Amino acid sequence: MYVFDTGSYSKLKHYYPQVFSSLWQHLSALAQSGVIVSTREVRRELGNGAPVPHLIQWFDSHSQMFTTPNANELQFVAAIFVIPNFQNIIGEQQRLTGSPVADPFVIAAAATRGFTVVTEEVFKPNSAKIPTVCQHFGIPCINLEQFMANEKLSF
């Protein structure tokens, strides 16, 4: 069971459905069965920047996987912000512009469900990166390639 971060979804733009149809069929089955989820904040972040038609279409047809944070998740987000160096998980630019911030909600969704985070961020000690926060709280964290290997996807 997985919670996808924005970066991993964005990386999927290079996997065109016409070429990688088995990947998209597998992702659809996982989304429909609740094996992969994400947060509404990820969906909002995905709306920023240049639209990628095949991603937008896929996200729209699987909108149920973008969940709204529940009370337990909001409590976990608060626990993240208690750690001083994790407070920087919201960047200054995001604070100034009011841009969506998905990272703490992705982590909280995984923590409260017992899921694994899928992100393209890289572990960096003492940083506010997703893998660092996940390690601190004992939450499994992998990247898209590891997810594909776990799911035994091959093309």
Query: How many other CB atoms sit within 10 Å of the CB of residue 115?
Result: 19
The pLDDT profile of the chain, 155 residues, written as one tens digit per residue, is 999 999 999 999 999 999 999 999 999 999 999 999 999 999 988 888 777 889 999 999 999 999 999 999 999 999 999 998 898 787 667 766 666 789 999 999 999 999 999 999 999 988 889 999 999 999 999 999 999 999 998 77
Q: What is the pTM of this model?
A: 0.91
The domain spans of the chain are 2-150
Alpha-carbon span 7 to 151, nearest angstrom: 19
Superfamily of domain 2-150: 5'-nuclease (3.40.50.1010)
Question: Which token pair is 149?
Answer: 């290997």
* Residues 6+ away with beta carbon under 8 Å from 10: 46, 55, 120
29 within 8 A of 53, measured Cβ to Cβ:
no
- Write down the pLDDT at residue 97: 67
Alpha-carbon span 27 to 131, nearest angstrom: 23
Alpha-carbon span 40 to 64, nearest angstrom: 10
